[in-house]
Amino acid sequence: MLSIVSWIVLVAFVAADKLETCDLHPKIEERIVKDTAAWGDAGITEDLVKSVSKHCDTEARIRQHYCNCQPQRILIENGTVYLNNLIPRHRLGPHEHIGLLVELYEVSQVYKLPNVEFTYWLDDHPPGETNYVFSGSGPHGAPRATAWPYEPRGGLPPMVAWSKSADNGVLMVPYSGAFRCAKDSFDALEASLHQTAGVAWADKLPLGFGRWNGFCTYYYGMGLVRSEDGQAVPCPRTYLNNVSAAHPDLLSAFDLGVAKPVPLAHQNRYKYIISTDGWSISSKFDKYLLLGSTVFKAASIRDGFYYDALEPNVHFVPFMVKHKDDIVEALQWARQHDEEARRMAEAAREFARKHLSRPARLCYLFRLLTHLSKQYRYPVSCSRRKLCVPLAQELRYYAQDEKTKDTCPYDELFDKYGATDPLAAPDADRLREVSVMHLDPLHWPRDDL
């Protein structure tokens, strides 16, 4: 049996001046509006949200497929973020999971959030289950059918992921773990910009530089990325080894099986930085934009939350667009148009500081949740769920557990917001309850029953 804990929540204070508006880049806002329109007039019904519970409908599926380790269900009510299930401890640790929770907590402290509920699917890829099924799409204005296998089949439970292709119905969120948790996070790099800006453009080496693990993700392997000549784009992370070997005067872009790693903060010695997808979009791309070098980005079918606002040949140079070797021409062009390349490097840095910094990401999440909140056709409330653990208490648990205490700097949140958020106060009884649920390998509240 599942343990069901009811939390007595005393929210007897009025949140101090939480923000109710902010401005996003119009293209980023447009993307949110478009993606949250996926439900059409029917909107998000409660059976869609509850159907995520059916993902783990038997004990055998939990034991054999760890189905309770994928969906992290999140509910926001009266400005407080709650979790409707807890990820078993044996799967805790990665900042891909925890980073978004940390960022959501901060959003809830800075902005007045509307009531919403959604699922964060813990994987490099958005779930195949939320892919649109192209045959037999509904009449104009009606929601498109997805591959969702649970009743109501073909529906789209509200889900978020940090990258997607046009064929998937998830909503995009920042890759918050890489933005704020890791030692070489975007935020850390931005804070040390005075150092990374230290290499003057004229002193940078006019060479295309790239280092990465030699991952080849499926969308290259399956030929889903095509260049203008109609050919399948090869896996950039291995193919560029060959291009580099053929053009050592222009390009040093190798996987780590071939060449030694170079820390990100030292890559600003090069005028041209090469970015390629790994399993999915590269979280390094966000950081490259800060380096003051011209970023060259390999063609991909995957987007991140802000990609619509980035303009090719204004903020970065796209390659593998015309044909698989066009990076050679692109680098030669950059050398011959040094001032234009320098301006692009500057534009990228300005873009990143304005649209990817922490305040901009919090604004993004606020706007996303605000648009999403208009889609619900029932009252979103913890009173309708089996479990609602305040996120602040879950973060307290992470902050003291061996597996998670170093994943992200939690103390900066508690230091900043602890005094005004009673739910963030350390509470030994709650910590024990949360701990017991994390240790239960079968933990999975069934809201569909």
Ligand X SMILES: *[C@@H]1O[C@H](CO)[C@@H](O)[C@H](O)[C@H]1NC(C)=O
Residue with smaller CB distance to ligand X, 137 or 242: 242
Residue with smaller CB distance to ligand X, 318 or 390: 390
Residue 326 in the binding site for ligand X (CB under 6 A): no
Residue 220 in the binding site for ligand X (CB under 6 A): no
Residue with smaller CB distance to ligand X, 150 or 376: 376
Select from 159, 149, 166, 109 the least CA-distant residue to 375: 159
Q: Following DSSP, what letter does each residue of 53-107 receive, concatenated? A: GGGG-SHHHHHHH-GGGSEEEEEEETTEEEESS---GGG---HHHHHHHHHHHHH
| Residue in 39, 239, 397, 414 binding ligand X, rule: CB under 6 A | 239
Q: Which stretch binds ligand X (CB under 6 A): 196-204, 234-242, 249-257, 353-361?
A: 234-242
Residue with smaller CB distance to ligand X, 361 or 385: 385
Give the position of tokens 């190798």.
Answer: 254
For 327-443, where are the alpha helices, taking DSSP H only?
A: 327-336, 338-355, 358-373, 391-400, 411-417, 428-439
Residue count, binding to ligand X (CB under 6 A): 8
**What distance in Å separates the CA atoms of residue 448 and residue 437, rounded to the nearest whole number?**
19
Q: What is the nearest approach in angstroms of ligand X to the Cβ of residue 279?
A: 20
Instruction: State which of positions 377-396 bind ligand X (CB under 6 A).
Output: 382
Element (H, E) at 232: none
Listed in sequence order, the residues at least 6 apart from 15 whose beta carbon sits closer than 8 Å to its beta carbon are 79, 112, 420
Residue with smaller CB distance to ligand X, 312 or 379: 379
**What distance in Å separates the CA atoms of residue 233 and residue 318, rounded to the nearest whole number?**
13
Residue with smaller CB distance to ligand X, 380 or 395: 380
| Residue in 29, 77, 103, 190 binding ligand X, rule: CB under 6 A | 77
Q: What is the nearest approach in angstroms of ligand X to the Cβ of residue 448?
A: 21
Give the position of tokens 């903020």.
Answer: 315
Q: What is the nearest approach in angstroms of ligand X to the Cβ of residue 62?
A: 28
Burial of 259 (0-12, 13-18, 19+ CB in 10 A): middle
Q: What is the nearest approach in angstroms of ligand X to the Cβ of residue 243?
A: 9
Residue 242 in the binding site for ligand X (CB under 6 A): yes
Q: What is the nearest approach in angstroms of ligand X to the Cβ of residue 115?
A: 8
Burial of 10 (0-12, 13-18, 19+ CB in 10 A): exposed
Residue with smaller CB distance to ligand X, 58 or 242: 242
Residue 434 in the binding site for ligand X (CB under 6 A): no
**Sign of torsion, CA 377 144 302 319?**
negative
Under DSSP, is residue 380 helix (H, G, I), strand (E, B) or coil?
Answer: coil
Residue 9 in the binding site for ligand X (CB under 6 A): yes
User: Which residues are near ligand X by CB under 6 A?
Assistant: 9, 11, 77-78, 234, 239, 242, 382
